[in-house]
Every structure is written in C-alpha cells, then in structure tokens.
C-alpha cells in the first residue's frame, strides 16, 4: 500500500514538473515559506491593534475552507479515472485493468492528497513560522503548537469534505436528507455557541481544553473511514442521455460570435451533457458566499482605521473569482481529439472565454445585487455591476493568456503564478483603494474616486483587448496533445 502511495506521489510530481520545471515546482513551497516568515517577522507592527487569537481565528477559517475544497476527491473520481495525458493513464484508473479494488486505490489517492498538500502548504508554513520564532516575541514551542493545530484543522476539513462528497456520489437522496438535517443543526449551534466552538482545534486555542483537540484528532480518521466505506468498490459511470433531445450543435444560436459559433455551441453542449454547469456555478458561488459572510461580519462592526468596505470593493473581488469558472471549463474536454480537427489552440481558448463570460456574467449579476442589498447600498448596483463585468473580462483574459487550456497545472508554475499575481493584484488594489476613499471621503472627493475607478476599469478593458489579441501569438504553435 505504501509503495502504491509513493508511486502516486511520484506521478503527481512528474505531472506538475511536466507543465513547469523541477525548480519551478519546488519554488512554490519556497514562496510559501518566505511569505509566512516575512509576515511573522513584521507581525508585531501589523497586528499591534488586533487580538492575536482573532488573527488565528481567521487563519483557521481560511485553512478549513481550503481543506474543504481540496478534500472533495469523490466529486472528481470519474474525471480522475478517465483523465489521460497523451497515451498515459493516471494510477487511479488501475482497477480498470489490474486486480486491485477501487476502494483501496482511492484510499491510496486520498493519503497521497494529504501528503501532497502538506508538502506544498503546511510544511513550508511550519518552517517559516518556526524560523521566525527566533526573531520575534513568540517561542519555538508556540510556533510548533500553532501549526500543529492548523494542520489538524486542515486534515479535519479534508475528511469532512471527503465524507460529504462520498455521500453525494453514493446516494443523492441520502446526501440531500443529510444536508437537510445537519446544516440547520450546525447553523443553529454556530449561532448559539459561536463558530470558534464548532472547529475543535480552534476551540482549543480559545479555551485550552485538551478534550477539544482529542475530539478533533478522533474525528479525522472517523470521517475518513466513513467516507471510504461509502465509496463504491467498483468503477461505474452514471448513464447520461446524450440523445438529440439532450442537446445538439446549434451554431445559429451563437452566430453573433462569428467563426467561433460552432466551437461555442460545442462547448455549451459539453457543459450540458456533462452536467458541468452545476459544478461551475457551485465552485463560483461558494467563495462568493464566503465573501458575503465576510461582508456581513465586517459591516456588523469591524471598521479598520475608519475605512469601510463597500459594495464597490466586493464587486471587484466577485469578478476575480471568475478564474474558477474558466478553470472548470478546461476540465470538460479530452484535448487530444482536437489535433485531428481544423482548429487551433487559440480558437478553442477564445471559444472557452466566450462561454466563461456568459456564465460568469449570469452568476455575478445576481450575486452583486444580493450583496448590495445585504450591505444596504442598492444605489451602488449599476456602478458595481460595471466593475464586476470589466473585472471578469480582465481576469478571464489574463488567465487564458497565461495558462491556455491547462489552467489547473500552469497555475502551479511559480513564474506563471507570479505574473498572474502581478497582473491581477495591481488593478484590483487600485479599485480597492479608490473604493475606500469613495465610501469614506477621507483622502479625496467622492466624484474624484469614482472617476479614478472608471479610469482603472478603462485601462483594464484596453489591457483585456491586448491579452485577447496576444493569445494567438502565445499559443499559436501549441499542440492539444500532452
């Protein structure tokens, strides 16, 4: 079993380095290490007006959400099994042609996921925090304890997500019944006791009760074991009706897109037949719901240096989350088949961008309206929608230009992710800053702030056009086959 897990780890390493380089792959955890080290060094000045436990509270919350996202392995089991890279299958598909059970294989894959994310995220953060403990006013033991509790929260989130996704795959009815019972109970308990008492390791931070940490440690193997029991010990695909009534190519419906109408029609049929739209919307809405909760929490009383977070600030972030939509759209195709068709990589990228914009505009419109109503700022809705649409266009163009048709892989290349960070953070930071001044009027007149936001949006549109044109130059000679 451990040799099987080790082979999966080697497979993951080879896949990642195939899209970047060995140095590039190893540089990603190094960036995490240096980031945590520098933040810890400057933490006394940054956090001088904040309770350290509140900072740990938000950090545990972020890690829990990240673990939930990374632990949903069962949602993608079928995609992992069917995924091919050229003529190469993944090890997860071994039960199709070797005498090994799928449950055992999936257990190995789950352990491999834990090791992988521990290496690229948890271990670098631990080393950075421990190294910083020799230069700031917290001890070596405190750093190790903090990271041990954060690791526990991450593993607990992965096990919870693994259990939920396994229940969903095994029985949809049971999943919705479970949600109907568990979600109201958890919501009521979190409102009554407070969220910090719902995560055992975070409860230990506030109370020092060792029973909380022990409960968390017990829950991790318990939830993981239950999830594995729910995983079917066979590989089966759900029958999907792909008859002419389920969806067919209809380029005339998308003729406004010119030469891309056929490819856009094909993408929409793929989205419908693979039932990808629900996953795309889910992956888009979840971070936006988190954003909505943060907006409500901040508006409930947190004001940082007399600067309030308004609808315009969140509108830019809503557009930024559109990256998830484009990433999902790149998981619908087996790209090898395009090598035998009279299309180019830039053609397919642009067709996916068109579908991305249709989906992201649809989802973000409703969300921005709801967000503005929650923040009691309906008057900002038109301006916020403009910001969201332009940000969605810009982020989509940047993502497509930098990553092409392999977004999930290229975003692990430090060179690509640094470029993506620079190109996305600069305009978003400008919009965020001007939105602060727009709401508070501390540094400039409101109309001046509005004009500056409009200027940034105009520059983003111009840059989007350059990226759209540059797709052809960057990806013209790229092949579809891995």
User: How many whole angstroms separate alpha carbon 345 and alpha carbon 347?
Assistant: 5
Domain boundary among 238, 254, 288: 238
Residue range 7-30: mean pLDDT, rounded: 75
DSSP assignment of 85-137 equals: ETTEE-GGGGGGTSS--HHHHHHHHHHHHHHHHIIIIIHHHHHHHHHHTTTSS
Per the domain annotation, does 244 fall within a domain?
Answer: no
Per-residue pLDDT band for 464 (boundaries 50, 70, 90) equals very high
> Do both 234 and 279 map to the same domain?
no
What pLDDT score was predicted for residue 161? 80
Determine the Cα–Cα distance for residues 387 and 369; give it in Å rounded to an integer.
13
In a domain, 254, yes or no: no
Q: What is the pLDDT of residue 302?
A: 45
For residue 124, is pLDDT > 50? yes
Is residue 385 located within the same domain as residue 286?
yes
The pLDDT value recorded for residue 200 is 83
Report the pLDDT value the prediction gives residue 144, as an integer from 0 to 100. 87
pLDDT at 397: 93
233 with 295, same domain: the answer is no
C-alpha dihedral (18, 326, 274, 176), degrees to nearest 10: 110
189 and 281: one domain? no
The yes-or-no verdict on residue 180 having pLDDT over 80 is: no
* Same domain membership, residue 208 and residue 108: yes
Between 66 and 223, residue with greater pLDDT = 223
Which of 185-194, 300-309, 370-379 is predicted least confidently? 300-309
Asked whether residue 246 is domain-assigned, the answer is no
**144 and 196 assigned to the same domain:** yes
Number of domains in the chain: 2
| Of 238, 262, 295, the domain-final residue | 238
Domain end point (choices 238, 263, 297): 238
Establish if 191 belongs to a structural domain: yes
**Mean pLDDT across the stretch 389-393?**
92
Shared domain check, 219 and 74 = yes
Residue 134, pLDDT score: 83
Residue-number span of the structural domain to which 299 is assigned: 275-482
Residue range 43-65: average pLDDT?
A: 70
Is there a single domain that holds both residue 203 and residue 280? no
Whether residue 294 sits in one domain with residue 192: no
Instruction: Please report whether residue 248 resides in a domain.
Output: no
Task: Tell whether 229 and 300 lie within a shared domain.
Answer: no
Do 287 and 232 share a structural domain?
A: no
Asked if 226 and 296 sit in the same domain, the reply is no
pLDDT in tens, 322-378: 777 888 787 766 677 777 788 888 998 999 999 889 888 888 888 888 878 877 788
Q: Which segment, 89-98, 232-241, 280-289, is predicted with the most confidence on average?
A: 89-98
pLDDT > 90 in the chain, percent: 8
Average pLDDT over residues 284-303: 55
Q: Say what the pLDDT of residue 466 is.
A: 94
The pLDDT of 133-151, averaged and rounded, is: 83
Q: Is residue 261 part of a domain?
A: no
In a domain, 256, yes or no: no
Q: How far apart are CA 5 and CA 133, in angstroms?
A: 34
262 found inside a domain = no
**CA gap 155, 147 in Å, rounded:** 12
- Please answer whether residues 80 and 89 qualify as being in contact, where contact means their C-beta atoms are separated by less than 8 angstroms: no
**Regarding predicted confidence, which is higher, 303 or 248?**
248
């Amino acid at each position: 079993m451990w040799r099987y897990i080790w082979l999966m780890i080697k497979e993951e390493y080879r896949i990642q380095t195939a899209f970047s380089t060995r140095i590039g792959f190893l540089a990603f955890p190094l960036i995490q290490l240096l980031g945590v080290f520098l933040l810890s060094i400057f933490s006394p000045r940054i956090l001088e007006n904040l309770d350290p436990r509140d900072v740990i509270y938000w950090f545990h919350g972020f890690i829990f959400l990240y673990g939930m996202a990374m632990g949903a392995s069962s949602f993608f089991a079928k995609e992992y099994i069917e995924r091919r890279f050229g003529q190469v299958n993944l090890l997860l598909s071994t039960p199709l042609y070797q005498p090994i059970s799928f449950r055992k294989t999936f257990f190995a894959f789950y352990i491999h996921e834990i090791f992988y994310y521990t290496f690229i995220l948890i271990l670098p953060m631990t080393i950075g925090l421990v190294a910083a403990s020799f230069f700031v006013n917290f001890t070596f033991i405190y750093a190790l304890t903090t990271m041990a509790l954060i690791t526990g929260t991450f593993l607990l989130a992965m096990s919870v997500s693994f259990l939920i996704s396994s229940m969903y795959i095994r029985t949809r009815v049971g999943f919705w019944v479970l949600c109907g019972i568990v979600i109201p109970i958890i919501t009521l308990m979190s409102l009554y006791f407070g969220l910090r008492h719902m995560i055992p390791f975070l409860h230990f931070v506030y109370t020092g009760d060792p029973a909380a940490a022990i409960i968390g440690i017990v829950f991790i193997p318990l939830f993981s074991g239950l999830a594995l029991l729910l995983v079917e010990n066979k590989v089966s695909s759900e029958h999907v009706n792909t008859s002419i009534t389920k969806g067919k190519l209809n380029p005339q419906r998308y003729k406004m897109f010119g030469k891309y109408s056929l490819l856009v029609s094909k993408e929409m049929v793929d989205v419908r037949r693979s039932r990808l739209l629900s996953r795309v919307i889910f992956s888009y809405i979840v971070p936006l719901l988190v954003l909505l909760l943060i907006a409500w929490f901040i508006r409930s009383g947190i004001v940082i240096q007399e600067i309030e977070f308004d609808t315009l600030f969140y509108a830019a972030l809503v557009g930024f989350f559109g990256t998830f939509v484009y990433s999902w759209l790149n998981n619908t195709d087996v790209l090898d088949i395009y090598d035998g068709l009279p299309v180019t990589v830039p053609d397919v990228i642009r067709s996916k961008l068109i579908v991305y914009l249709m989906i992201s505009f649809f989802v973000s419109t409703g969300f921005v309206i709801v967000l503005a109503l929650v923040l009691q700022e309906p008057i900002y809705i038109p301006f916020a929608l403009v910001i969201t649409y332009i940000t969605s266009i810009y982020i989509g163009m940047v993502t497509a230009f930098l990553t092409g048709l392999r977004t999930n892989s290229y975003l692990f290349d430090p060179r690509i992710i640094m470029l993506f960070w620079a190109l996305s953070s600069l305009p978003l930071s400008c919009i965020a800053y001007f939105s602060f001044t727009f709401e508070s009027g501390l540094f400039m007149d409101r109309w001046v702030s509005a004009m500056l936001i409009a200027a940034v949006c105009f520059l983003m549109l111009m840059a989007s056009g350059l990226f759209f044109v540059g797709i052809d130059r960057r990806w013209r000679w790229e092949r579809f086959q891995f």
